[in-house]
Every structure is written in C-alpha cells, then in structure tokens.
Amino acid sequence: MQKWIKIYYSIVVVCILLYVLHLLFIELIFVLFSGSPNFPINRYEFLYHEVIPKAVSSVLCIKEIFSKIKGIIFFVKKERTKE
C-alpha cells in the first residue's frame, strides 16, 4: 500500500510542476511579445482575467486532492490497526 501512496504523491507533484511550468511559459510569451504592435491583449489584463483565476482554482483543487489523500491514508492506517 505504501508503494501506491508514493506513486500517487509522485503523480500529484508532477501535475503541479507541469501546471507551474505552463504558467511560466505563458509569462515568457508575454515578456517576449508584449512590445509587439500585433499582440492584441494587454499583458496585465490577461494575467488578471485569465491566469490568476486559473491559478487560484488550481490551488484550491490541489488542496482538495491533498485532503482526500490524507483521508485515504488515515483510513488505511485505521484499517491496519484493526487487524
């Protein structure tokens, strides 16, 4: 069971890192192209309306995932003590 918990934590950490890298990539695109006259959106407007709400919702989702993991670990420990 410990093996599966470690695998699950690893998957969650990899997903979090991929999301953070995705946000950094979006920021890099804005840094590179924000001076271009063909770039249609204001950088800060995009961050305020798109990136920040998605980041907040993903943090809340990650918090929910970790609370479920804690519940699973607590349940497994409780079942082991019964045996």
pTM of the model: 0.43
Residues comprising the chain, all counted: 83
Q: Which amino acid type is present at position 69?
A: I
The C-alpha angle with vertex 13 and arms to 48 and 2, in degrees rounded to 5, equals 150
The residues spanned by each domain of the chain are 2-82
Please name the residues in contact with 1: beta carbons below 8 A apart, sequence gap of 6 or more: 76
Q: Tell me the pLDDT tens digit for each residue of 63-74.
A: 787 778 778 777
Q: Tell me the pLDDT tens digit for each residue of 16-55.
A: 777 777 777 777 776 666 665 555 666 667 667 777 777 7
